Chain A
Amino acid sequence: MSVIELIGVSKEYESGSETVVALSDVDFSAERGKMVTIVGPSGSGKSTLLNMIGLLDTPTAGVVRLDGRDVTDFSEDELTEERRTGIGFVFQDYHLLPMFTAVENVELPSRWDTSVDRHDRAIDLLERVGLGDRLDHRPDQLSGGQRQRVAIARSLINEPEIVLADEPTGNLDRETGRTILEELTRLKDDENIAIVSVTHDEQLVEYADRTVRLVDGKIDGS
C-alpha cells in the first residue's frame, strides 16, 4: 500500500492580479522500501509537490492521503503532529542547529514528546551513518557530508514512514554525494521507509526505483 498518495492535486497561487498554477491535477504515490525521485527544470513545481507530500502546504484541489487516511483538510496543528510522527526531512543546506551537538540535533524532533527517550536511537543512527566518533561535535566542526549524515539521522529519529529529501546532494561534491545516496538507500531498506527526493542531480536518478518528471506543474509522460 502507498504510504503517501496524492490524487488530482492542484495548487494555485495568487500573484498580484494573475493566478499562477504551480501544480495541475497531479497524481503521485510512494511505497515503503522504494525511492522515488522527482526531477524537472526549475519552476516546474518540484518544490511545491514536495511541500504537498511533506504536509507543509495544502492543495487548492485534490486529495492527500497519508497511510490511507485523508489528511487534506487537517488543521495546521494536526498536520504538525503528522509530520512529527510520520515524516522525516532532509534539506539541501542541512539546517542543523549550530548550538547543538550532532547527537542533540538528531534527538531534537523527539525532544518535545516526553513519553519517549530516543537518546539511544540517536546514538545508534549516528553510528549507522558512520559518525559514532562525532557524537558531541557541533555542526561547525563537521564537514558538509558529515552534516548531511547528521540531518539524515535526524530525519529517521521518530521512525517515520517516509523521508523527504530536497536536493540532498546539492551542496556536496560528487564523491560525497554518492556516499550520501548509498547511505540513504541502505537506511531505506533497513527501516523499510519510502524516500521521495527532489533533484537536479542525474546521479541521484541512478539510485531511484522510480523517477517522476515534472514539467510546468504536470507529470510528464507517466
Chain B
Amino acid sequence: MSETVVVAGAFVISYGLIVTYAVYLDIRRRKTT
C-alpha cells in the first residue's frame, strides 16, 4: 500500500472518530429535550 493511502487512511479514521463522537453527543442531547 502506498504511503499516501496509509496516511490518508489514518487521517480519515481519526477525523471520522471525532465526527462520530460529536454526532453521538448531539443524538443524546436531542433525546433528552
Instruction: Say whether A associates with B.
Output: no
Mark B residues whose CB is within 8 Å of A: none
Interface residue ranges, A against B (CB under 8 Å) = none
